[in-house]
Amino acid sequence: MEKKKFFNQILNFLGVLLFLYPAFNGITGLVKDPKLDGAVELKKDTSFSLKGWWDGTWQEPKEEYLSEKFGCRNYFVRLHNEIDFRIFHKGHARNLVIGKEDILYERDYILTYFGKDFLGTDVITNNVNKIKEAQRILSEKGKTLIVVLAAGKGSFYPEYFPVEFDSMKRGPTNFEETSKLATDAGVNFIDFSVYFKNQKGNTPYLLYPKYGVHWSQYAMTLAADSLVRFIESKRFIKMQHFKWNEIALKRAKDIDYDIGSGMNLLSYLNGPKMGYPKIFFEENKGEVKPSIVVIADSFYWGIFNMGFSNLFSKSHFWYYNNEVYPEHYKSPTYVNDLDLASQLNDHDVFVLMATEHNIAGAGWGFVDAVINLENKNEVK
Query: 110 near 155, Cβ under 8 Å?
Result: no
Q: Which of 113, 190, 194, 122 is nearest to 154 (CA)?
A: 113
Average the pLDDT over 60-77 and give the result: 63
Largest CA distance in the chain: 100
pLDDT of residue 35: 75
Report the pLDDT value the prediction gives residue 39, as an integer from 0 to 100: 55
CA dist 144 and 189 (Å) reads 11
Tell me the pLDDT tens digit for each residue of 102-130. Answer: 999 999 999 999 999 999 999 999 999 99
Q: What is the secondary structure of 138-196 as a DSSP string?
A: HHHTT-EEEEEEEPPHHHH-GGGS-GGGTTPPP---HHHHHHHHHHHHT--EEEHHHHH
Angle between helices 121-140 and 174-185 (to 10 degrees): 40
Taking each helix axis as running N to C, give the angle between helix 192-199 and helix 217-235, from 0 to 180 degrees, rounded to the nearest 10. Answer: 130
Report the pLDDT value the prediction gives residue 233, as an integer from 0 to 100.
96
How are strands ordered across the β-sheet holding 144-150? 189-191, 144-150, 349-355, 291-296, 314-319, 323-325
What pLDDT score was predicted for residue 7? 54
Structure letter (DSSP) for residue 56 = T
Q: Alpha-carbon distance 297 to 358, whole Å?
A: 8
- pLDDT tens for residues 284-303? 777 899 999 999 999 999 99
Show Cβ contacts of residue 375 under 8 Å, excluding neighbours closer than 6 positions: none
C-alpha radius of gyration, the chain, whole number: 26
Using DSSP bridges, classify how beta strands 242-250 and 314-319 pair: parallel, antiparallel or unpaired.
Answer: unpaired
DSSP secondary structure letter of residue 288: B
- Mean pLDDT, rounded, for 80-102: 89
User: Beta partners for 191?
Assistant: 149
Question: Residues with Cβ < 8 Å from 341, sequence gap 6 or more?
Answer: 373
Residue among 81, 57, 106 at smallest CA distance from 212: 106
Q: Quick: pLDDT tens for 303-358.
A: 999 999 999 999 999 999 999 999 999 999 999 999 999 999 999 999 999 999 99
Mean pLDDT calculated for residue range 37-47: 60
263-to-81, 94, 111, 266, 318 alpha-carbon distances in Å:
7, 9, 21, 9, 28
3-state secondary structure of 317: strand
Residue percentage of the chain with pLDDT more than 90: 64
Residue-wise DSSP of 188-257: -EEEHHHHHHHHTT-SSS-SS-SS-SS--HHHHHHHHHHHHHHHHHHHT--B--EEEEEEEEE---GGGG
Question: Residue 24 has what pLDDT?
Answer: 47
Range in 140-144, 272-276, 302-306, 376-380 with the lowest mean pLDDT: 376-380
In angstroms, the CA 74 to CA 102 distance is 24
Q: φ, ψ for residue 230 (rounded to 5)?
A: -70, -40
pLDDT at 1: 52
Distance CA 367, CA 135 (A): 9
pLDDT tens for each residue of 149-199: 998 899 999 999 999 999 999 999 999 999 999 999 999 999 999 999 999
Query: How far is 279 from 225, CA to CA, in rounded Å?
Result: 11
What confidence score (pLDDT) does residue 11 get?
A: 53
pLDDT of residue 192: 93
Question: For the purposes of burial, counting CB atoms within 10 Å of the CB of 233, is it exposed (0-12), middle (13-18) or buried (19 or more)?
Answer: exposed
Beta bridge partners of 96: 106
Question: CB of 5 within 8 A of CB of 27?
Answer: no
Given a cut of 50, whether residue 31 has pLDDT beyond it is: yes
Q: What's the whole-number average pLDDT of the chain?
A: 86
**Beta partners for 98?**
104
Q: How many residues does the chain have?
A: 380
Q: Pairing between strand 323-325 and 274-281? A: unpaired
* Angle at CA of residue 268, ends 265 and 273, nearest 5°: 145
Calpha distance 340→192 (Å, rounded)? 29
